[in-house]
Structure 1
């Protein structure tokens, strides 16, 4: 079940992020000499998204184990709370990105 959600949500998010981060269709310019290099903004957001999907999959697995009587109730509650917190964080980040995009799109050139 989560595979379907992760596949659809991850694909749509990556397409949106690529459009927002690079609207010209060109690859971003390389950093100049003397600047620190690290993961791009897109890579950071993608890793956060992958972490959220992993947390949701873990909670789903724990739920199935609990229904089968194989999981400790405390472990189930911990995994569900972790998944809920991750999802709320991802929703808050998405809302901020959409707000920023709308604000930028309203700017006059």
Structure 2
């Protein structure tokens, strides 16, 4: 039902990120390139999108399992609540990013 997200580039149709380095190698700091474990912004966003998609898939699967009698009501409710919380977090984060972008766009140079 829900297709998996392969990366940040799959979130935008028609290659909307054509000017952005999709490998995020330009966003990785020197310390991250040396292996200190720091992640780039694009990696964090991609991981968040993947986690959200996986939570939605799990809740969908649990719902179908409940219809077939393979899962309890508690499992379904837990999966759906987890998916809802993950989705609300992603929406809140998106709203903060859009607000920050709009503030930067309104700055006078």
Q: Is residue 17–residue 42 contact of structure 1 (8 Å, CA) maintained in 2?
A: no
What is the aligned partner in structure 1 of residue 101 from structure 2? 101
TM-superposed deviation, 1:29: 7.1
What is the aligned partner in structure 2 of residue 46 from structure 1? 46
- Structure 1 gaps of 5+ residues are none
What is the aligned partner in structure 2 of residue 81 from structure 1? 81
TM-superposed deviation, 1:45: 1.5
- Structure 2 gaps of 5+ residues are none
What is the aligned partner in structure 1 of residue 72 from structure 2? 72
Q: CA RMSD in A?
A: 3.3
Work out the number of aligned pairs and report it. 100
Q: Distance in 2 between matches of 1:48 and 1:106?
A: 28
Give the TM-score normalised by the residue count of structure 1. 0.74
Q: Is residue 56–residue 83 contact of structure 2 (8 Å, CA) maintained in 1?
A: yes
TM-superposed deviation, 1:16: 7.0
CA distance change for structure 1 residues 29 and 65 in 2, over 3 Å: closer, same or farther? closer
